[in-house]
């Protein structure tokens, strides 16, 4: 696992420029490192007579990073992202941090509710291959299918697929792709599972844990059923 993350998109926050500093005071013991990223939006204009792009600042994203750089909190107006990097801990141990940070944001920004939640797991799987195998079904249950008229081998690929989710109302997107820079002795693949749920009416913070838990169930189901048993034995991953 390269990274797991949970995104919470809010609505109606009483945002101001002091909130990142106030949040830092609450979490600086665990997240002593900070970065600020300027968010820029490109507006491209194309016409028969002219073309160009204008870049517009749309705010600042503040990152709070723990000592060993295994976890990061990202904050901007109406958005909190909790990133878990290696070493990954169990989901039940990661959840309390998600809810703790969201509660801090709620105390400071007083949002009216949550409009979207995303849970994403990005996995790297290295297989003992020197080329992309024509028998992808040996390793994956989701894979590209190339007509035999093109030959027995194929090159790099990226496959993106929307799948039915176990919990209704969620959007579940799985992406399988060869990783750029794979070594000759092994071929590496990215297996990216992203569950998201948008709400017609904002939900309260009290519903957050249920939605995140359901999203995680969907991710685990996609992971367990997207790989063959052979690949699972090669995939060195702790329990989710």
Q: Show the domains of the chain with their CATH numbers.
A: 1-39+54-111 (3.60.90), 113-240 (no CATH)
For residues 153 and 46, what is the distance between their CA atoms, to the nearest angstrom? 40
Using only C-alpha atoms, the chain has a radius of gyration, in whole angstroms, of 21
Distance CA 173, CA 162 (A): 4
Q: Does a cis peptide bond (omega within 30 degrees of 0) precede residue 95?
A: no
pTM of the entire predicted model: 0.86
- How far is residue 134 from each of residues 21, 145, 180, 195, 230, measured CA to CA in Å? 53, 9, 19, 29, 16
Question: What pLDDT was estimated at residue 150?
Answer: 80
Q: What is the DSSP letter of 11?
A: E
Tokens of 231: 């690949």
Cα dist from 55 to 1, 43, 90, 155, 185, whole Å: 35, 6, 41, 36, 43
**Nearest of 126, 190, 135 to residue 160 by alpha carbon:** 190
Q: What does the pLDDT profile of the chain (240 residues) look like in tens digits?
A: 899 999 999 999 999 999 999 999 999 999 999 999 886 565 565 656 656 555 555 678 999 999 999 999 999 999 999 999 988 889 999 999 999 999 999 999 999 999 999 999 999 988 766 555 557 888 899 988 878 788 767 778 899 999 999 999 999 999 999 886 544 556 788 999 999 999 999 999 999 999 999 999 999 999 999 999 988 877 654 444
pLDDT score recorded for residue 52 = 58
87 preceded by a cis bond (ω within 30 of 0): yes
> Looking at residue 89, what DSSP letter applies?
P
The DSSP 8-state label assigned to residue 194 in this structure reads E
Residue whose structure tokens are 């750029």: 180
Residues 6+ apart with CB under 8 A from 153: 131, 132, 134
Query: What DSSP state is assigned to residue 75?
Result: E
Question: What is the pLDDT, as a whole number, of residue 166?
Answer: 92
């Amino acid at each position: 696992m390269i990274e797991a993350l949970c995104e919470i998109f809010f609505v109606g926050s009483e945002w101001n420029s002091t909130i990142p500093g106030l949040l830092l005071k609450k979490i600086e013991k665990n997240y002593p490192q900070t970065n600020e990223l300027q968010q820029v939006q490109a507006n491209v204009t194309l016409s028969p007579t002219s073309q160009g792009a204008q870049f517009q600042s749309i705010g600042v994203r503040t990152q709070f990073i723990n000592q060993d750089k295994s976890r990061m909190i990202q904050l901007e107006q109406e958005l909190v992202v909790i990133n878990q990097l290696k070493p990954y801990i169990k989901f039940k141990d990661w959840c309390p941090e998600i809810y703790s940070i969201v509660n801090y944001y709620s105390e400071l920004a007083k949002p009216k509710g949550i409009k979207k939640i995303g849970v994403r797991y990005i996995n790297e799987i290295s297989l003992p291959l020197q080329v992309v195998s024509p028998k992808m079904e040996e390793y994956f249950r989701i894979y590209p299918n190339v007509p035999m008229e093109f030959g027995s081998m194929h090159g790099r690929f990226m496959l993106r697929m929307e799948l039915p989710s176990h919990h209704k109302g969620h959007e579940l997107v799985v992406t399988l792709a060869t990783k750029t820079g794979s070594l000759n002795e092994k071929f590496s693949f990215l297996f990216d599972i992203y569950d998201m749920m948008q709400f017609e009416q904002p939900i309260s913070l009290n519903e957050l844990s249920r939605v995140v838990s359901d999203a995680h169930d969907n991710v685990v189901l996609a992971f367990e059923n997207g790989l063959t048993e052979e690949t699972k034995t090669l995939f060195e991953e702790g329990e989710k």
